[in-house]
Amino acid sequence: MVTAVTADSGASSVVTALYVRTRALHLEAERTGVVAEILRGGASREGYALLLRNLHPAYREIEDGIERHRNSPILAPLARWRLARTSAIAADLTALAGPDWAAQWPLLPEGEAYARTISRAAEGDGSRLIAHAYTRYLGDLNGGLIVRRLLEKSLGLGAGELSHYDFSAIAEPAALKTDYRQALERAGAAAHDTDAIVAEGAVAFECNIALSIAVQRHLAGKPAPQSQGVGSP
């Protein structure tokens, strides 16, 4: 469903470069695994909860990593925004499964690999975190809003289970989308190696696709084949 490059994106824009590099992967992400089931309105509550549980460590790595680099000229524009999706997701999981959600729902190898990939991206000057922030937060602020409506409709989830997509405490969603995109641009402009950020964007999408497939397989009781594990070291 990614169709257009917005007007604020110039030729040297890191966001445009990420968009172009990940366009085909975005389509693949929409069409695969548990994400495709959610989009069709056919996902179960368990499927959604398992996906969310496995995204939780990824968000923690993004948010901890940006926080660690908050005084660097590269990541300071992103650190300004405390999007705090890690705690929002934990609240949703508690509402969905109770306080022992982490014991109820396994961390799959693909969830672990995604978090590890982000933790490595946070090494050095941390500039590859820009790609992970782009992938998750612009995803949440775009398709995430569609996903929220689908989950309300197909699974009857309420606001207390969908705070992952509720940014109202931070800013009005349309304004936040524009402002966060600009923050990503400023971070990208301060970074030294745009190519590495763009390459990391593809890795981020591949991690999401691998996780989405793994969640679907887990619920169907099928072990993932050896080759699954994109994003693992």
Residue nearest to ligand HEM (CB): 143
- The owner of tokens 């609240």 is 91
Does residue 54 belong to the site contacting ligand HEM (CB under 6 A)? no
Residues with Cβ within 8 Å of residue 163, at least 6 apart in sequence: 88, 91, 92
Does residue 219 belong to the site contacting ligand HEM (CB under 6 A)? no
Does residue 26 belong to the site contacting ligand HEM (CB under 6 A)? yes
Does residue 147 belong to the site contacting ligand HEM (CB under 6 A)? yes
Return the residues of window 115-134 that contact ligand HEM according to CB under 6 A.
134
Residue 123 DSSP one-character state: S
Return the residues of window 66-85 that contact ligand HEM according to CB under 6 A.
none
Does residue 231 belong to the site contacting ligand HEM (CB under 6 A)? no
- Is 26 annotated as contributing to ligand binding? yes
CB of 1 to ligand HEM, least distance (A): 4
Terminal-to-terminal C-alpha distance of the chain: 30
Size of the site for ligand HEM (CB under 6 A): 22
CB of 138 to ligand HEM, least distance (A): 4
Among 38, 96, 108, 157, binds ligand HEM (CB under 6 A): 38
Q: Which of 229, 197, 191 is nearest to 113 (CA)?
A: 229
Does residue 179 belong to the site contacting ligand HEM (CB under 6 A)? no
Does residue 155 belong to the site contacting ligand HEM (CB under 6 A)? no
Among 87, 94, 142, 228, binds ligand HEM (CB under 6 A): 142
- The owner of tokens 């989830």 is 157
Does residue 208 belong to the site contacting ligand HEM (CB under 6 A)? yes
Query: For residues 22 and 13, what is the distance between their CA atoms, to the nearest angstrom?
Result: 14
Phi, psi angle pair for 181, to nearest 5°: -60, -45
Find the DSSP H helices in the chain. 14-31, 33-40, 45-68, 76-79, 85-97, 101-104, 109-121, 129-133, 139-141, 143-155, 173-190, 194-220
Does residue 163 belong to the site contacting ligand HEM (CB under 6 A)? no
Among 90, 133, 138, 191, binds ligand HEM (CB under 6 A): 138
- The owner of tokens 């300071």 is 76
Residues with Cβ within 8 Å of residue 103, at least 6 apart in sequence: none
Length of the chain: 233
Chain contacts with ligand HEM (rule: CB under 6 A): 1-4, 15, 19, 26, 29-30, 35, 38-39, 134-135, 138-139, 142-143, 146-147, 205, 208
Binding residues for heme b: 26, 134, 181
Binding residues: 26, 134, 181
